[in-house]
C-alpha cells in the first residue's frame, strides 16, 4: 500500500511518500523552488517522492492532505462573527482567497495533480485528517515507542492550537485540546513580531536572542509578571487564556495592537534593522521563560492523563530547543522523541502515516532501534555524474577522492586550520535542521569562527549561535546532556570543566561585547548562557558525517564540529550540487566537499557576481 502525504497553502509546503507503513521519501518544496517557506502546491516535492518510490499518482492507494480546510473555514467565519464589527478589513482580504481556492481545495488539489499526470478517470482516494492529528501521527508512528503520550503545540490548525493524546500500537486517541484564539505558538509569534523578526520564520531568532537577557535583571521578572497578569493566564494543566484586547491576529492583519504593547512594556516595537538593545534581550528571555513554564505544565498534564514513561512532540513549538531541553531535564518523562520536521512540513508525513494506520487500519511494526526516520535523510541524493556535470558547467576545479577515509582526513585537516567547509553528502535532510547532509562546518575551538560564519558566510545577525555536532558516544565529555539528540532539537549546558570565568564587569557590557567573550574551550558553539543546541551523530544513521568527525578527533583530540545549515540568510538549505557550488562561490567559504569531490576556493575561476545576489533572498 502506497500513500502520498501533502502539506501546502500556508507555509513550508512538503510531500512525503509512505509504502506499507515505511517512510520512503519526504522533502520540502522550498528546496526545489529556492523560495524559503514556499507555501505553494509542492509539485517538485511530489514529483521527487514519486520518482524515488518508483510509482505514479494513479498507482497510489491514497493522497492525504494534512488538515481539514472546511473546519478551518468554519473557524474563520465564527471568529469574525464573534469579534464583529472588528476585523472587517481582514475579512474582506481573506474571503476572496477562500472563495477562489481554499474552500474548494479538493478541486484545487485535483487540478494541481493533473499537471503531474494524475488521471481523474481513475480517481485515487483523497483524505483530510485534522491538522493536529497529522502532527501527532508524524511524531508517534516513527518513534520506537509502542505506547506514548503525544503533545502537539503550534500556532493553530483548524481550531486546535495544542493537543494531548495517547498513542498505543496503531491507535491515536486525542484526550484534550486547546482551541483558538488561545495559543502558545501565537503568543510566542506575537513577541517574535514585536521584537522585529518575521512571524513563521523568525521564532528561532527570538529563541537565540533570549539568552542575551540578563537573568539577574529585575526587568526580566517584571516582564514575566506583566505577561502573566496582562497577556496570558496559565492554568495548572497547561491550558492558557490570552486577552484578545492586546492581540490582533484573530481578525486583523498584524499580530498585536502595537500601541498597547508599547505602553505595557515601556518600549517601542523594534524594527527589523534596529540595533538590538538590552531591553530586547530581557523581553525575549521573559517570553522564553513563560513558554517553558507552559510546556512543562502541558507535559505534566500529558503524563497525568496517559501514565506512560514516553513522550513524543510535534508542532512548531516543538522546535523550541531550549524548552525541549528543560522538559528533558525535568524528568517528567523517561524518554522523549521530537519529530525533526515538527512544523507544517512534517504534517505531510503525519497525514500519510495517519491514513495508513488509522483509515486503512494497518498494523504498526517497530523493527528499528531509534526511530523510523533514517536520520531524517529522506530527500534527494545525487550521483558522481551530477557533480562532474556541474563542474563542467562552471569550469570548476576539483580533486576526486575515491578513498572516503582519505577524503575525511583531508577535510579534517582544512577544518583544523580554521577553514570553513561546505559539506554535501547523500540524501538531503527533511526538516529545518542541517544534520550533516547539507551542512557548513567549522572548528569549534576557534575564537573567531562564530563571527566569521555569521558575517562572511551566512550574512546574518551577529548574535546568532551555532550548533555543535558531537560523536554520540563522546557527548558526555562535552555536554550535560541526558541521552541522544540526533536531530539538533535539545539545548543543554556545556560542562562546567570546559567553561571559562566571565569578566567581573560582564553584566554591564553592551550586547555586542558580550557576544565575543570566550565562555569555554569550544567558543564557537557555546552560547551566551553556556548552552549549546546539540546534535549527537550516530555511526548507524549518519556514517559519513560520523567518519569525518572521527577523523577530526584523531587529528585534534576534539570530537566536535560546528554545524550550520548550508545556505545564506533568507535562502533555503541547498539541495543539489549546483545549489551548493553557487552558495560556495558567493560566500567566503574556503572549501566545498560534495560526495567524493573537493573544491578549493583558491583554484576556482572568478565568480561573475559581485554581491548584488544578496538582494535575491529577503530577510528571514
379 inside domain: no
CATH of residue 604: 3.90.870.20
Confidence at residue 335, expressed as pLDDT on a 0 to 100 scale: 96
**Nearest 5 degrees, angle CA 56-CA 61-CA 63?**
80
In a domain, 111, yes or no: yes
94 shares a domain with 75? yes
The answer on 495 and 565 residing in a single domain is: yes
136 and 154 fall within a common domain: no
Last residue of a domain, one of 372, 392, 421: 372
Number of structural domains found in the chain: 3
Q: Determine the Cα–Cα distance for residues 113 and 106; give it in Å rounded to an integer.
A: 11
Q: How confident is the model at residue 48, as a pLDDT?
A: 98
Find out whether 412 and 552 touch, Cβ atoms under 8 Å: yes
Provide the pLDDT for residue 510: 79
Distance CA 120, CA 113 (A): 9
* Residue 340 burial (10 A CB sphere; 0-12, 13-18, 19+): buried
> What confidence tier does 123 reach under pLDDT thresholds 50, 70, 90?
confident
Given a contact cutoff of 8 angstroms between Cβ atoms, the answer to whether 1 and 30 are in contact is no
193 and 126 housed in the same domain: no
Q: Does 221 have pLDDT greater than 60?
A: yes
Hey, what's the cell of 189? 509569534
- Mind listing the pLDDT tens digit for each residue in 581-610? 999 999 999 999 999 999 999 999 999 876
Q: Is residue 492 part of a domain?
A: yes
Residue 326: all three cell numbers together:
528543560
Q: What is the mean pLDDT of residues 125-146?
A: 96
Residue 492 has what DSSP assignment?
A: E
Q: Is 176 contained in some domain?
A: yes
Please indicate, yes or no, if residue 178 is contained in any of the structural domains: yes
Q: Which three cell numbers stand for residue 254?
A: 498584524
Q: Which pLDDT score is estimated for 386? A: 98
Residue 119 sits in a domain whose CATH number is 3.30.420.40
Q: Are residues 167 and 238 in the same domain?
A: yes
Comparing 134-148, 160-174, 293-307, 498-512, the range with the smallest average pLDDT is 498-512
User: Are 443 and 574 found together in one domain?
Assistant: yes
CA-to-CA distance for 491 and 481, rounded, in angstroms?
Answer: 8
pLDDT at 620 over 70: no
Domain residue limits at 108: 2-140+341-372
C-alpha distances out from residue 247 to 94, 293, 439, Å: 18, 21, 38
What is the model's pLDDT at position 264? Answer: 98
> What is the per-residue pLDDT across 24-64, written as a single tens digit (0 to 9) for each?
999 999 999 999 999 999 999 999 999 999 999 999 999 99
Cα four-point dihedral sign 206, 207, 208, 213: positive
Domain identity same for 254 and 395: no
- The region of weakest confidence among 69-83, 102-116, 281-295 is 69-83
149 and 239 inside one domain:
yes
Q: How far is CA 471 from CA 174, 409, 468, 542, 551, in A?
A: 37, 16, 10, 10, 11
Q: Is the dihedral of CA 156, 359, 12, 489 positive or negative?
A: positive
Q: Are 488 and 533 in contact (CB under 8 A)?
A: yes
Judged by average pLDDT, the poorest of 214-218, 228-232, 430-434 is 214-218
Lowest mean pLDDT among 333-342, 460-469, 533-542, 562-571: 460-469
Q: List Cα–Cα distances, 174 to 1, 168, 209, 591, in angstroms.
A: 26, 11, 34, 49
Residues 161 and 278 placed together within one structural domain of the fold? yes
In a domain, residue 91? The reply is yes
Taking the CA of residue 395 as centre, how many other CA atoms within 13 Å lie in the half-sphere pointing to its CB?
5
Say yes or no: 492 and 402 in one domain.
yes
Using one digit for the tens of pLDDT, what is the confidence trace for 341-392?
A: 999 999 999 999 999 999 999 999 999 989 999 999 999 999 999 999 999 9
More confident residue, 321 or 121: 321
Give 449-468 as a DSSP string.
Answer: HHHHIIIIIS---TT---EE
Provide the pLDDT confidence category of residue 460 given band limits of 50, 70 and 90.
confident
Give the Cα separation of 41 and 60 in Å (integer): 18
Asked whether residue 421 falls in the same domain as residue 321, the answer is no
Q: Is the pLDDT of residue 200 over 90?
A: no
Residues 76 and 131 occupy one common structural domain:
yes
User: Is pLDDT of 98 > 70?
Assistant: no
**pLDDT higher than threshold 90 for residue 483:** no
Angle at 374 between CA 137 and CA 163, to 5 degrees: 20
442, pLDDT greater than 70 = yes
Residue 236 backbone dihedrals phi, psi, to 5 degrees = -60, -30
The answer to the question of residue 378 being in a domain is no
Residue 52: its pLDDT value, please?
Answer: 97
Which position has the grid cell 494541481?
Answer: 112
* Residue at 377 is within a domain: no
Q: Note the pLDDT tens digit of each residue in 228-272.
A: 999 999 999 999 999 999 999 887 778 999 999 999 999 999 999
Amino acid at each position: 500500500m502506497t500513500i502520498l502525504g501533502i502539506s501546502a497553502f500556508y507555509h513550508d509546503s512538503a510531500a512525503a511518500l509512505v509504502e506499507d507503513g515505511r517512510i520512503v521519501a519526504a522533502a520540502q518544496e522550498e528546496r526545489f523552488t529556492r523560495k524559503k517557506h514556499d507555501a505553494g502546491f509542492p509539485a517538485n516535492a511530489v514529483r521527487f517522492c514519486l520518482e524515488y518510490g518508483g510509482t505514479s499518482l494513479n498507482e497510489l492507494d491514497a493522497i492525504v492532505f494534512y488538515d481539514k480546510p472546511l473546519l478551518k473555514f468554519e473557524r474563520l467565519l465564527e471568529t469574525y462573527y464573534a469579534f464583529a464589527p472588528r476585523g472587517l478589513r481582514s475579512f474582506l482580504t481573506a474571503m476572496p482567497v477562500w472563495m477562489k481556492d481554499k474552500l474548494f481545495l479538493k478541486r484545487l488539489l485535483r487540478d494541481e495533480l493533473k499537471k503531474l499526470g494524475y488521471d481523474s478517470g481513475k480517481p485515487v482516494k483523497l483524505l483530510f485528517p485534522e491538522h493536529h492529528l497529522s502532527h501527532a501521527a508524524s511524531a508517534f508512528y516513527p518513534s520506537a515507542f509502542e505506547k506514548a503520550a503525544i503533545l502537539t503545540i503550534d500556532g493553530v490548525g483548524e481550531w486546535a492550537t495544542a493537543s494531548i493524546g495517547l498513542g498505543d500500537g496503531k491507535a491515536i486517541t486525542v484526550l484534550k485540546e486547546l482551541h483558538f484564539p488561545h495559543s502558545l505558538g501565537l503568543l510566542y509569534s506575537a513577541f517574535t513580531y514585536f521584537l522585529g523578526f518575521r512571524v513563521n520564520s523568525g521564532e528561532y531568532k527570538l529563541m537565540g536572542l533570549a539568552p542575551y537577557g540578563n537573568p539577574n535583571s529585575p526587568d526580566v521578572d517584571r516582564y514575566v509578571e506583566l505577561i502573566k497578569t496582562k497577556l496570558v493566564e496559565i492554568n495548572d494543566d497547561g491550558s492558557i487564556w490570552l486577552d484578545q484586547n492586546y492581540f490582533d491576529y484573530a481578525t486583523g492583519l498584524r499580530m498585536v495592537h502595537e500601541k498597547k504593547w508599547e505602553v505595557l512594556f515601556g518600549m517601542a516595537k523594534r524594527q527589523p534593522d534596529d540595533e538590538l538593545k538590552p531591553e530586547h534581550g530581557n523581553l525575549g528571555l521573559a517570553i522564553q521563560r513563560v513558554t517553558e513554564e507552559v510546556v512543562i505544565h502541558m507535559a505534566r498534564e500529558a503524563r497525568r492523563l496517559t501514565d506512560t514513561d514516553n513522550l513524543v512532540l510535534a508542532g512548531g513549538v516543538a522546535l523550541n530547543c531550549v524548552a525541549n531541553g528543560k522538559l528533558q531535564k525535568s524528568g517528567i518523562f523517561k524518554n522523549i522523541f521530537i519529530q525533526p520536521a515538527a512544523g507544517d512540513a512534517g504534517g505531510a508525513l503525519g497525514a500519510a502515516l495517519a491514513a495508513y494506520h488509522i483509515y486503512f487500519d494497518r498494523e504498526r511494526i517497530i523493527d528499528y532501534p531509534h526511530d523510523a526516520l533514517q536520520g531524517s535523510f529522506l530527500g534527494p541524493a545525487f550521483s558522481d555524474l551530477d557533480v562532474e556535470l556541474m563542474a563542467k558547467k562552471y569550469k570548476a576545479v576539483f580533486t576526486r577522492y575515491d578513498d572516503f577515509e582519505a577524503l575525511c582526513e583531508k577535510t579534517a585537516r582544512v577544518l583544523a586550520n580554521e577553514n570553513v567547509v561546505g559539506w554535501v553528502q547523500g540524501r538531503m535532510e527533511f526538516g529545518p535542521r542541517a544534520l550533516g547532509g547539507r551542512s557548513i562546518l567549522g572548528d569549534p575551538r576557534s575564537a573567531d569562527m562564530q563571527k566569521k560564519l555569521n558575517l562572511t558566510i551566512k550574512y546574518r545577525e551577529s548574535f546568532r549561535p551555532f550548533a555543535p555536532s558531537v560523536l554520540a558516544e563522546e557527548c558526555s565529555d562535552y555536554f550535560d546532556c541526558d541521552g541522544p539528540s540526533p536531530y539538533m532539537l535539545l539545548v543543554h549546558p556545556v560542562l562546567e570543566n570546559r567553561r571559562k570565568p566571565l569578566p567581573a564587569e560582564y553584566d554591564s557590557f553592551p550586547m555586542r561585547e558580550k557576544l565575543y567573550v570566550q565562555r569555554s574551550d569550544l567558543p564557537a558553539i557555546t552560547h551566551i548562557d553556556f548552552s549549546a543546541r546539540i546534535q549527537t551523530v550516530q555511526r548507524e544513521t549518519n556514517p559519513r558525517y560520523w567518519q569525518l568527525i572521527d577523523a577530526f578527533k584523531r587529528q585534534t583530540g576534539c570530537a566536535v564540529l560546528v554545524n550550520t545549515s548550508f545556505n545564506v540568510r533568507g535562502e533555503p538549505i541547498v539541495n543539489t550540487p549546483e545549489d551548493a557550488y553557487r552558495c560556495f562561490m558567493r560566500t567566503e567559504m574556503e572549501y566545498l566537499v560534495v560526495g567524493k569531490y573537493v573544491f578549493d576556493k583558491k583554484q576556482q575561476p572568478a565568480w561573475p557576481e559581485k554581491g548584488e545576489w544578496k538582494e535575491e533572498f529577503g530577510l528571514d
